[in-house]
Amino acid sequence: QKEVEQDPGPLSVPEGAIVSLNCTYSNSAFQYFMWYRQYSRKGPELLMYTYSSGNKEDGRFTAQVDKSSKYISLFIRDSQPSDSATYLCAPGLDDKIIFGKGTRLHILP
């Protein structure tokens, strides 16, 4: 089983829709959980990070962590064409982050 798994997509949704991006992980020792956004041929940009189970909201973005299920989600409300990118989930342990392959998201105008 891979350490971090994401559906690669692409996921296409109409502008304004709520987007749900999901990720599972296998190592129960992961201590913190991050979501990065990566535009084509660019470096990743940190969107959200959290250390515990539950929800964390920042603007249109909500990160949800369920440690008992080893399941991480990112919700995007009122999606915009500019949200079209690849979203990487990245749980971490000590000083190391393990990146998922990412889910490609297309927001259709």
Partner 1 sequence: GAVVSQHPSWVICKSGTSVKIECRSLDFQATTMFWYRQFPKQSLMLMATSNEGSKATYEQGVEKDKFLINHASLTLSTLTVTSAHPEDSSFYICSGGSGAYEQYFGPGTRLTVT
The DSSP result for 17-83, as a single string, is --EEEEEEES-TT--EEEEEEE-TTS--EEEEEESSSEEEEETTEEEEEETTTTEEEEEESS--GGG
* Cβ closest to partner 1, residue 4 vs residue 63: 4
Binding mask 19-48 for partner 1 (x = CB under 8 A): -------------x-x-x----xxxxxx--
* Cβ closest to partner 1, residue 4 vs residue 19: 4
- Least CB distance to partner 1 at residue 93 (A): 9
Site size toward partner 1 (CB under 8 A) is: 22
